[in-house]
Structure 1
Amino acid sequence: MPPNVELATTLVAPVSNDIGSVTHKTKDEDEVFNWEQVYYFVSTNQIKSLHRHKQVQVVYDKWRKDTLAQYGSLENYLLTNKLEFGTMKDAQRPPVIILPNDFPYSVEADIDHILLWSQVPLSRTYIEDILENNYGSDKYEWVYWVNPPEIQSVKKLPHVHVFMHPKQSS
């Protein structure tokens, strides 16, 4: 594990052989995205094509409203309840906290949606090191991104969205 990385949870994902195909549809709030779709939308910078299931979105919207009323910002809530960063000794390899997304996007059960939280933006190399050392490219494949500013719900705390999928046995 890279120094300064705290793993908040261990991911266990069942293997699925049903990948499906990439489709281009109008937004279907009940759609569940498969790995091929997730990988395609992230790797082609079509992040806005991915979304939460409508029931999860309703829960998220209520939680967000209540949290903003109680804490004033999502950042305050996170720093009070979920994120306790260690001392930053190296800005190139800052402390990182890995958490599951509490309100994940609508993806198949064998896809994990995690977040890498930090106090400063993370380099691609460091992100890869974190994922390799915590999960292993021999077991998982992943794709990650940082939301563009216009759709960031937490703007003042850098974080990276990661979708992970178990590699299929050959």
Structure 2
Amino acid sequence: MVQPAQCSSSSLTAADIPLRSGPPTREELLVHYPAKFTWTQLKTFVNSGDLGLLKRDRKLQVRYDEWALGVKEEYGSIVNYLTNHRLRWGQPDTLSLLKSSLEVDPLFPVISHPTNGAESTQIPPAYFSCETPSQYISIIQNDWPYSVPAEIEHTLIWTKVPIYHLDLVDESIKSRIDQDGLWGFTGNDSPPPSPSLLPSSIGALSEWGITPDKMIKSALATPEEALLIVRAGKEVHRYVKTRWAESEWETAWFVNPPRLQSVPGLAHIHVFARHK
């Protein structure tokens, strides 16, 4: 296994790394957009019940907004840009400036397309799982990552098939999932930070004006509801646990609820991965 590069900003200055436009390089992130969250804080935010706490650096957000205007002018919409350019279904990500150190990826082989150019007639699966054929999946590094430590990889798993599905999401918790989304952790050597620790971490969100009273989350789940929530996210959890071997990687993953989805109509999973 290739070890992640040990990134350090101690030897780099703003003069060494001039700002560009478009998606940032790792060096630009280190020097111009240093992480505002620690790994523990990030896990605390994921486990808080309000996925809206997770933020991109405010200056990087401005850069993204400017870039997005150009993309919309060229492609018509961000969705068109993703589906017609950025997402290479069934193929490795070769476009990202932020490379992953995950070397072995048995679940994501390059697809051999029919030589006659015909589209596959295979019926798409009902929902996302480890068994989903890779022509329905595009795994890329987030070109515009959240404000996470340099050693954390922010990966997006895009899928053409639903993640939320009535076979997984019981009707009794649908409104909760619609508001809160799903999240989980793999490869942890200790339990994820309790939501009760949020008051000690939320200060990292002060520049975004986030305070506990502005959080949006459901009431504490009953034991029965908690089991149904685990069931709703079991396929995503199984996929993440398999792709990022728990002996080597620690992850925090989440799927935004509909209210926070930036690209309606395209399902995707956020995975924050730290090599042990």
Asked if Structure 1 and Structure 2 have the same fold, meaning a TM-score greater than 0.5 normalized by the shorter chain, the answer is yes
**Structure 1 segment 1-16 matched on structure 2, within 5 A:** 13=4
Aligned equivalent of 1:61, options 60, 65, 83: 65
Structure 1: runs of 5+ lacking an equivalent = 1-9, 17-28
| 2:134 is aligned with 1:99 | no
Match of 1:52 in 2: 56
CA drift at 1:149: 2.9
Q: Which protein is richer in strand relative to its size?
A: 1
TM-score normalized by the length of structure 2: 0.47
Q: Which residue of 2 aligns with 1:111?
A: 152
Deviation at 1:49, TM superposition (A): 2.1
1:59 Cα deviation from its structure 2 partner: 1.7
Give the stretch that moved more between structures: 94-103 or 79-88: 79-88
Which of residues 237, 248, 259 in structure 2 aligns to 1:128?
A: 237
1:163 aligns with 2:272: yes
- The corresponding residue for 1:41 is 45
Higher relative contact order (CA 8 A, sep 6+): 1
Matched to 2:140, the amino acid is L
Distance 1:71 1:56, change over 3 A: same
The alpha-carbon distance between structure 1 residues 126 and 97, as it changes in their structure 2 partners (threshold 3 A), is farther
CA contact (8 A) 1:13 1:111 kept: no
2:257 maps to 1:148: yes
Amino acid at match of 2:157: L
Cα distance in 2 between the residues matched to 1:130 and 1:51 = 25
Deviation at 1:76, TM superposition (A): 0.8
Paired amino acid for 2:53: S
RMSD of aligned residue pairs (Cα, Å): 2.7
Q: Is the 8 A contact 1:144 1:163 kept in 2?
A: yes
Secondary structure in 2 aligned to 1:159?
A: strand
Structure-2 change in CA distance of 1:162 and 1:61 (3 Å): same
- In structure 2, the residue matched to 1:21 is none
Shift of 1:99: 0.6
C-alpha distance 12-50 of structure 1, shift in aligned 2 (>3 A): farther
Q: Which residue of 2 aligns with 1:75?
A: 79
Question: Residues 15 and 110 of structure 1 are in contact (CA less than 8 Å); yes or no, is this contact kept in structure 2?
Answer: yes
Change (3 A) 1:135 1:36: same
Asked if the contact 1:15–1:166 (Cα under 8 Å) also holds between the matched residues in 2, the reply is: no
Q: Match for residue 90 of structure 1?
A: 125
Residue correspondences, number: 146
* Residue identity matched to 1:116: I
Change (3 A) 1:161 1:34: same
- The CA distance in 1 between the partners of 2:6 and 2:246, in whole Å, is 15
Quote the residue 2:112 is aligned against.
Answer: none
Identity of aligned pairs, percent?
34
Q: Which segments of 5 or more consecutive residues in structure 2 lack a partner in the other structure? A: 8-32, 91-119, 164-231
Question: SS of the residue aligned with 1:153?
Answer: coil
More helix as a share of residues: 2
